[in-house]
Structure 1
Amino acid sequence: MFNKILIANRGEIALRIIRTCKEMGINTVAVYSTADQDSLHVKFADEAVCIGPPPSKESYLKIPSILAAAEITNAEAIHPGYGFLSENAEFSKICEEHDLKFIGASPDSIARMGDKAVAKDTMIKNGVPVVPGSDGEVDSYEEAKEICKDIGYPLIIKASAGGGGRGMRIVEEESKLKQAWDTCRNEAETAFNNPAVYIEKFVTNPHHVEIQILADQHGNCIHLGERDCSLQRRHQKILEESPSPLMTPELRNEMGQAAVDAGKSVNYEGAGTVEFLVDDDLNFYFMEMNTRIQVEHPVTEEITNYDLVAEQIKAAAGLELEDKPLKMRGHAIECRINAEDPAHNFRPSAGTINVFHTPGGHSVRVDTHAYAGYKIPPHYDSMIAKLIVSAPTREDAIKRMRRALSEFIVEGIKTTIPYHLQLMDDENFQKGTFNTKYLENEFKFNPEI
C-alpha cells in the first residue's frame, strides 16, 4: 500500500479523497492555486504545495508543477479526482514514466474511451449496444449529409473529444444541418483543440442511466448497479439517484453485464462509469465511458456500502477485488448544490459565504469544502456541496431530502437549494416519470416561493 498520495485536484473531491486516505493510514499532499489557499482540502491534508495562480491552465492543469510537487514531497502516487487531468491520457503516461502511480485508468484505456468515436467502435466490436450513427469520425459536410440521410432525423452531432455538454448539436431536419455542423466543429476546436465530430441518431426523451464498475489489475471486473442521472439542464446533471426509478432486475443484469464487457474490452483498472441512454421501451445504448471517479459516486456508496475511493486506491496498489454478490439496500439521492441563482437562469454567484449551516440527522451526508467566511473563487466549477440522503424506499428518501434541504442554510450568495426544494414537491419527480429533457421543457421553477 502507498505511504503518501498527492491529490491533483481541489475543493470537495480533494477533501473526499483525503478523508479516505486518512482512514487507510495514507499520508496526503494537497496542491492548490493561490485562489484556494484557504480551502479546507489545504487545511486537512498532511502537506500542501502551492502550484500557481488561479487560472486552471496555470495551476491544476499544469503538469510540470504537479510533478514537481510530487517530487519534493516524495509522493508515490497521484489521485486526479474528477475533472482537470483525471481523464488526460498524457498525464497518466507521464506519471508512469516518472515512477508515480496514477490512481485511475491506464493511458491506453483513457485514450480509447476518451475519444468517443473510438469508444463507440470498441463497444460495437465487443457486442455492447450502441446508438445508430456514423462509423467513427465524419471528415466532411458532404459525408455528413449522406450519413444523416441513412440515419434519419432527429440526430445529434458530437465532438469526439467532448464532454460537459460542450460540442453537441441536435439537428431536427436537413435544412439545419450545415449550421449545426459548422457550429459544432468550431466549438470542438475552441474547447478541445480538436474539431473532429461524429454523428448519432438522437434518442427522443431518453433516460440517462449509468453503471458503476470496479476493476483490478488481475482481470477482474464487477458492477455496482446503476445511477439515474436524467435530471439535467444544458447537459449538466442536477440530481442523481440510485436505483433508477425505471429499472427492472432483468434490465440491471443486462446493462451491468454490458458495462463489465465494456471495461474488460479496454483492460480497465479502477473505478469507472459506463453511461447509457435508455428509451421508453427499455432499450439501452452505450453513450460514453468516464474513466474516473464521478461527482455522483456517493449515491452508489450509500446503497452498496462500498468506499469507491478506497477501491480505486486498492486497485492501483495491485490488490485483488473482493468477489462478493451485489447487494443494493434502499434508495439514495444526491442534490448538487451550486453557487448559482436559479431565479436568473442559473447565473453564477461568486462571493463570500456569510452563513453556512449544513443539515444532519440519520442517513444525511454532506460533501463540501465550503464554510462560513469562505470566498468562492470565480475561476472554477460552481458546485459548493453535494447533499446525499438514503432511506429504505424512494418515497422516504424524497421526504428525507426535502427535510435536509430545508435545514441547509447558505447566506451571502445565491444557491440552487430553492430549486431542489421545489423539485422534491414535483409530481412527476415523485412518480419517477421524467427524462433528460424534463427540467428544460416541463419543470417550472417559481422564484417567488
Structure 2
Amino acid sequence: MAEAGLGERLIAAVRAGGAEEARRLLEAGADPDTAGEDGLPLLCVAVAAYDAEAAGELAMGGADPNRLLPDGSTPLLRAIEGGSAAVVSATLAHDPGPRLRGPAGDRALAAARSWYERSGTATGERTRVPDDEFTYVDELVLDGRTVRAGHGAILTELEWGLGILTPVEELADRAVRYPDWEHVDWWAAVRLLGRRRSRETWSAVAALRRHPDPDHRRFAAHALWSLTLLENGKVPSYEAETSDLLARWATEETDARVLAAVLRAWSAEHDHPDMVATGLRYTGHPDAGVRAAVPDCVDGRPLDPGARAALLGLVRDQDGGVRGAAGAVLGRNLDGSPDVRQALVRLARDPEAEVRWMAAERLSEGDDHAPEVADALAGLLDEEFQLVRLIAAYGLMRHDDPRTADAYARIGPLEAGYEIDHRWHRVRDWEWKRRNGSAAAES
C-alpha cells in the first residue's frame, strides 16, 4: 500500500476517534507526524478532541510532542493548556522523563504552573466530565475557550517526570483544591506519594493527621493507604507503622468524613488486632459514611457473634450504602444459617439497584442452595442492568434450577465487555449442552 494512502487513512482514523485503527496503520508504516488538512500534526488533532487513546497511539508510534508549530506552541503545550491530565500523559507516551529533557521540560513546567494558577481563580459555570476511567475533572471557560481544570494533576506528573520532589504539604494543598478523591488532581497526588517510598515522605504524610483542615486529614488517610500498597514489590511499605498510626487515629478523629476515610484506609490493607473492636464501636455512628466503613473492619475474618449481630443490624440500615456494605461482607459468610440467608434474600429485593446487584453476586456465588435463594435469584431476571440478569442466571444454573433455560433467554443480546465474564461462559456452555443433549436424544 502506498505511503500516501496510509497517511490519508490515518487522518481519517484519528478524526473519527479510531485509536485501534490508528495503531494498525502506524504499525503498517504510517508516519506518526502526518499533518491534517490544516497543516498541523495529527497529535494536535487528538489533543484538541481530548482523545487520549488516539494521542497515546500517535505518541507511542513516534509522534513528536515537542514539535514546534507555526504559532510557537507544541502539541505538548496545547495538551497542557487543554487541562486533561490523561491527554498530557498520552501525549508523552505515558513516560514523561525522556520527552521533558532540556528547554522543552522547563517550558512545559512553566506552562503547567501558569495554567494551574489561572484555572484555580476562574469563575463561572463548571461541568464535571470524565478524565479517564477512574477520575473526573471540571470543564470550564477560560479566556474564551473551554478547558479542563486538571492542571494540578498535570503539574504533579510533570514535576515527577523532571525529578522534582514536591513537598508533601504542597501536594496536599494541590489535592484539596477539589476535595474529592475521584478528582484527577487529588488522585494524581495520592498516586505520586505511593511512588515516593522514603521515611521523609511517610513522616510528612503522617504529620498531616494533625492538620486543622479536615480535607487535608482526609487526604493524609488516602495517601497513607497508597504508601502501604506494595506496588510491583517496591519496599519499604511502612505497613506496621501505618497500621498502628491508623489504629490510634481511628479512636481519636472527630470529623465524620475523615473518620470514614481512616477506617477504609486501615481496613483495606492491614490486619490489626484492634480492628474489629474499633470498627464495631461505630456501628451506631450518626454518619452513614462511617457506618458503611464498619463492615470492612470485620471482613476477612471468621465472624464472631458480636460482628455477626452488627452486620445483621446494618443490613437493615436506612442508608443503602450501609446496607450494601454490610450485605457484601455478610454474604461472604453465606453458610446456610437462616438469619444470614434471609438477610441476603431481603437485600435482593432492596429498593436500590446497587444493593440488589450486590445481593445477586453473593447469592449466586454462595453454597447455600435453599429454595428461597433460587427464588430470590429468579426475581432478579427482570432487572434493567444486564449484568444482574446474567448473575442471576448463573446462580440459577449453579442451583440446577429448572428456570435456568428461561433465565438464559432473559439475559438478551450480550452487551460489549460481558463476553469475557466467566459467568457468561458457564451459562452459555450450560445452554449449549442442554440444546445439544436434547438434539441427540431426539435423534
Q: Same fold (TM over 0.5)?
A: no
TM-score by length of 1: 0.25
Which structure carries more relative contact order (alpha carbon 8 Å, separation 6+)?
Answer: 1
- Larger % of helix: which? 2
Whichever of the two has the greater Rg, that structure is 2
TM-score by length of 2: 0.25
